[in-house]
């Protein structure tokens, strides 16, 4: 099962590294000219409700202006030139993007060495981030099933759940048996149940990189919130964009560290 889990991880990794890239989130960058009036552009930005415009000179975008910092004079007196830390290529993966956005509120996108688009914190609520979160959470459940089965042969994990939670899993299993979709009892537990088993098992908790039960509980609580919101398109993916980044990156860390440990075991 470990090998299959690792293989599944690698397949999903390809999906979000190769196909889920920053260009799916980015918006076209509205532009002004280096010699435009700052107050005129500020008024235009206010009307469009934009905080950032690109600044072009002779057809090339060379920097940007922030609405809140525009004062009298020309744009050339107020604009900010690009620095390397402001730019990412359009092929940058969403995971890489999230790493960078931990420290910045916006980034500019390079397409063939030309700045054409922008991505901001607000874009983290878009569908590609939902797709990324859903993929990672699905893989986490695959991993947890594998680890729990290995740690608890013959369904001995059942003692870790309350009678109520166990009964819900048994009811779901019965329902699926009637539909010829049985799987196993563990497959019919909720993500929160699998998290409870991990929290109550020192070996599994440490295997996932959590030294304390409190931190592990918090992780699964955050993941469940993320999973529930991901399933409802009308909901924000997460209540706080900075926390959303941290939750997804921690989820990726848990999966990635486990995949590496499995690879090391296989190679030896």
Q: Which residue is listed with tokens 């797709």? A: 131
User: What domains lie within the chain, and their CATH numbers?
Assistant: 2-6+127-267 (no CATH), 26-123 (3.10.580.10)
Is pLDDT larger for residue 258 or for residue 188?
A: 188
Q: Is a pLDDT exceeding 50 seen at residue 267?
A: no
In the predicted model, what is the mean pLDDT of the chain?
A: 88
Question: 183-213: per-residue pLDDT in tens?
Answer: 899 999 999 999 999 999 999 999 999 989 9
**Binning pLDDT at 50, 70 and 90, where does residue 6 land?**
low
**Binning pLDDT at 50, 70 and 90, where does residue 5 land?**
low
The CA distance from 95 to 218, in Å, is 21
**Cβ count near 260 (within 10 Å):** 11
Is pLDDT larger for residue 240 or for residue 12?
A: 240
User: pTM to 2 decimals?
Assistant: 0.83
Contact 88, 99 (CB under 8 A): no
């Amino acid at each position: 099962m470990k090998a299959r889990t690792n293989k599944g991880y690698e397949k999903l990794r390809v999906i979000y590294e190769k196909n889920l890239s920053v260009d799916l989130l980015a918006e076209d960058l509205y532009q002004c000219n280096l010699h435009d009036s700052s107050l005129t552009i500020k008024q235009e930005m206010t009307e469009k409700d934009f905080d950032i415009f690109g600044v072009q000179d002779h057809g090339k975008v060379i920097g940007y202006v922030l609405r809140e910092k525009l004062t009298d004079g020309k744009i050339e007196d107020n604009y900010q030139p690009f620095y390397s830390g402001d730019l990412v290529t359009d092929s940058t993966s969403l995971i890489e993007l999230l790493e960078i956005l931990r420290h910045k509120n916006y980034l500019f996108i390079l397409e063939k060495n030309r700045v054409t688009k922008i991505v901001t914190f607000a874009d983290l609520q878009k569908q590609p981030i939902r797709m990324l979160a859903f993929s990672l959470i699905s893989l986490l459940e695959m991993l947890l099933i594998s680890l729990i089965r290995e740690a608890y042969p013959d369904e001995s994990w059942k003692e870790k759940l309350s009678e109520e939670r166990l009964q819900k899993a048994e009811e779901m299993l019965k329902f699926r048996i009637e539909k010829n979709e049985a799987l196993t009892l563990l497959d019919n537990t909720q993500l929160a149940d699998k998290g409870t088993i991990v929290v109550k098992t020192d070996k599994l908790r440490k295997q996932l990189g959590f030294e304390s039960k409190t931190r592990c509980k918090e992780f699964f609580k955050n993941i469940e919130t993320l999973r529930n919101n991901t399933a409802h398109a009308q909901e924000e993916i997460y209540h706080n964009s900075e926390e959303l980044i941290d939750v997804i990156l921690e989820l990726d860390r848990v999966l990635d560290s486990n995949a590496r440990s499995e690879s090391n075991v296989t190679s030896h």
